[in-house]
Each structure stands twice: as structure tokens, then as C-alpha cells.
Amino acid sequence: MTAIALIDGNNFYVSCERVFQPHFEGKPMVVLSNNDGCVVARSAEVKAMGVPMGIPWFKLKPLARQNRIIAKSSNYTLYGDMSHRMHSVIAQFAPEQEIYSIDESFLNLTGMPGDLITYGQSIQQRVKQWVGIPVCVGIGSSKTLAKLANHCAKKTIVPIMPGGVTDLTQLSNAELDETLSRIAVGEVWGIGRRLSAQLIDMGITTAAHLKNASINRIQKHFSVVVGRTVAELNGEMCLELEDVAPPKQQIMSSRSFGQPVYRLEDLIEAVTSYTARASEKLRRQQHVASAIQVYLRTSPFKTDAPFYSNGVVVRLMQPTNSVFALAQAATQGLKQIYKPGLPYTKAGIMLLDLQPSNRVPLDLFSALGAPTDLRSQALLKTLDTMNERFGRGTLRSAGEGFAKPWAMRSTHKSRAYTTDWAALAVVQRG
């Protein structure tokens, strides 16, 4: 029988913070989004208080003061590095791994000797000991069932199995139906809020109902994709593990500003910085972009200034992954949509019409940054190598600026413990 495991870091952002600040263990804690806007991660203690995901921080402050909830600003440099460490440890347990998200990995455990529950506990113990992150392990005969098994592990829905590890492959069909009958249909992977409401109208309210529904009926009302979900719930492997995540079709980079921005020069700095980040991702997946969209807006919630939002797509004469060529195009677009005197609160860019860099035809008249421009590619490779080795921003274009008055607020941000020599944790004798 096929055995697919999903390993998921518990309250991942909060857990990353606790690894280097163990005095936060057991205390109510949240991690905030960009500009300390909304809650994007909650500890188990905060979840028990009924605090919803996404609640604005200003609304939570009274409850936070009353219950001493600790708030930390998002530290994506730390979280990204901890994610890499966690996935590297998990990869040691199976020859096939698919990194699904920053805190989730699928493993193919088919054919592994011994009891898979015990094997799952070994994964838990090693990740906790070597990285410091607590994880849950869900095992099923398909990726969809592995997702549900992980949900069961978090909620202890199958009490006969140890906390944090659930193996649905050990259940009979009747036992699996009984377990899935306690899970709302909206918890099934790929069934969102809209589909969930439609399924409930059809009398399909639980994961068990969906498992036992007619595939033909489901495909007739919805799509082949939802039909595959039904097949996956019945143990048929329709979604294969991907060794390498498929390249993104668009790459977006945007941020809200820490304070209103009025000057075009500051907006150009911000957009250039976002373009640099996006072009780095573009080069990493060995693609080039044929167009770039740039947009900006004011706040829709301010009554003392008119709301303004606009965007424009700039086509490139030659597909490129050069930060210099892309930033030049973004600046050109920004100047087209900028209106003086307005308090802008957000800007962003999106790289469009992506294609593999090795498929771009030779252009003898290509601009700086075309894949055929070897000197430009050598410069970009040096840029990426230095920033990867010594930290992002070690080398950057002057257009990104230095003062950065537009930078987002991070008043509760922890240190970059794993990627900055000056921020290494210090062990002191008690």
C-alpha cells in the first residue's frame, strides 16, 4: 500500500521565535504581519483564548495587555532559514520529498520497514532535537489523506494513536469512514469556502460524505479536480509528489509602507527594492520576464485624502532577469501613474509572461540584461552569490536607497539569529 506522510511544523513562526527565546515557551504569543498589521501566527495558548487568525493588532491590544500576550514582528529571514533546516532533516527519512510550503513537507514512506507510527515519532524527535521545531506527522495512502491525517494528529481525532502522529493506513475502511465523519468537509485539502458551501447544500457535510460520494456526480456539479479529490479520499494516488516545485507563472513583490510616502524619489526606491527581490527569485528558477506590472495606491480608509489606485504594465523589448533592466522598466511605469501630493501607503510590482531563459531567441540588438549578454549575467551571478553567502542586501543597486523612509514597521522584531554574525545567540553561565 502507498504511504504518504505530511510533516507540518506546529505554529511554525511562533515555534521559530521560541527556539532562540525559550522563556517564551508556554506563554501566549502571536506573530504579526508586515507593518505589525494583523496576526499571522498564534501559539496554542492564544488559540485557546478564541483569538482568530488575521485579527488586526490594534483590536487585539486590550486583550493582549490583559492576558500578557507577547507580540513579535514577522522575521522572514529567520523563518526561511529555520524552514530550510527543518526540511533538510526531514529529507533524511525518505528518498522522495516534496517541500509543499515553508512549514510542510510530503514524504513517500511506501515500503519503509517497521511500524510507520514509530517511524513518524522518530521524525518528530529528530526535528525537535536537531532544529527545535515541534512537528505533527500525518500518514495516508494519498496526499489528500495525508493532509487529513495531519489534521487528525493536531486535533487528536484518532485517540488510539500517540499525540502528534496519525497513520490512517492502519484503519479499516469502516474505521476510516468513522474518523472522517468527524471532520468537516471544508477541512479537506482543496475544498475552499465556496466549494464547501455548495457541497453542504448537496448534503455533503463531512469528509466521509465526500469520500463516499459518486465521482461522476461530483465531476458533473464541479470539476475533474474535485473528482480527483474524491478518488484521493478513497486511497487512489492522483496527485504525485513533485521533486521540484513547478516554476511560478508570475512573481509578485509588494509591501505596505511604514508611513505615508509622498515623493516620487522615495517611491522609486521602494519599487526598485521590490524589483530586486522579485528578480532574484526569477533568476533562481532560471526564467526571464517579458513584462512588468507596477502599481501604487493610497489608503482606502483615510477620509482626509482622496483614494487613488492605479497600475500599468510595461512590456520589455527583450525578455530579461536583470534587476537593472527590470527596475528601469518599473520606474518608467511608476512615473506614468504617479500623482504628486498624495499620501501613498502601498506599492508593488509583478513580473509577467515568464519563460525559461534558455528558450529566449538570440537578439543581436538586445538591451542590457538579456540572457545573451554574458557580462550582465556574470554581474548578476556575482550579485546573487555574494548576497547568498553574506546575507541579502550585501550587494545591491544604488537605486534601492539607504535611508528607506518607506520601510515597513517592525517594532517587535527579533534578531536574525541564524543568518547574521552580530545576532548570534549568546550562551551565558547561570
Instruction: Report domain extents, the chain.
Output: 4-170, 174-233, 251-400
Which DSSP symbol is given to 422? G
CATH topology classification for 251-400: Dna Ligase; domain 1 (3.30.1490)
At 3 the pLDDT is 95
Distance CA 89, CA 123 (A): 8
Q: Residue 396: what pLDDT?
A: 63
Helices (H), 167-214: 173-180, 193-201, 207-211
Asked if residue 404 has pLDDT above 70, the reply is no
Hey, what amino acid is at 340? P
Mean pLDDT in residue range 5-27: 94
Strands 97-101 and 4-9: unpaired
Q: Do domains 4-170 and 174-233 have the same CATH topology?
A: no
Does the structure show a pLDDT above 90 at 233? yes
pLDDT for the residue 385: 73
Query: HEC states along 280-348?
Result: HHHHHCCEEEEEEEEEEEECCCCCCCCCCEEEEEEEEEEEECCHHHHHHHHHHHHHHHCCCCCCEEEEE
Please write the tens of the pLDDT for every residue from 138-181: 999 999 999 999 999 998 887 778 779 999 999 999 999 999 99
Candidate from 187-201, 302-316, 376-390 with smallest mean pLDDT: 376-390
pLDDT (tens digit, 9 = 90+) per residue, 170-209?
Answer: 999 999 999 999 999 999 998 888 889 999 999 999 999 9
Element (H, E) at 396: none
The whole model's pTM is what?
0.70
More confident residue, 397 or 129: 129
What's the average model confidence in pLDDT over 329-354?
91
pLDDT at position 187 is 93
Query: What share of the chain has pLDDT > 90, as a percent?
Result: 48
pLDDT exceeds cutoff 90 at 380: no
| Digit-coded pLDDT (tens) for 23-65 | 999 999 999 987 788 899 999 999 999 999 999 999 999 999 9
Which has more confidence, 241 or 394? 241
Q: Band of the pLDDT at 367, cuts 50, 70, 90?
A: very low
Burial of 380 (0-12, 13-18, 19+ CB in 10 A): buried
Is the pLDDT at 71 greater than 70, yes or no? Answer: yes
Q: Is the pLDDT of residue 379 over 90?
A: no
Per-residue model confidence (pLDDT) at position 368: 45
CATH superfamily of 4-170: Reverse transcriptase/Diguanylate cyclase domain (3.30.70.270)
Instruction: Report how far residue 31's alpha carbon sits from residue 41's, in angstroms, rounded to the nearest whole number.
Output: 5
CATH of the domain spanning 174-233: 1.10.150.20
Kindly report, residue by residue over 220-231, the tens digit of the pLDDT: 888 888 899 999
Instruction: Please give the residue that has the higher pLDDT: either 235 or 406.
Output: 235
* Lowest pLDDT segment from 9-18, 59-68, 174-183, 413-422: 413-422
More confident residue, 9 or 78: 9
Buried b (16+ CB within 10 A) or exposed e, 326-346: bbbbbbebbeebbeeebebbb
pLDDT, position 253: 85
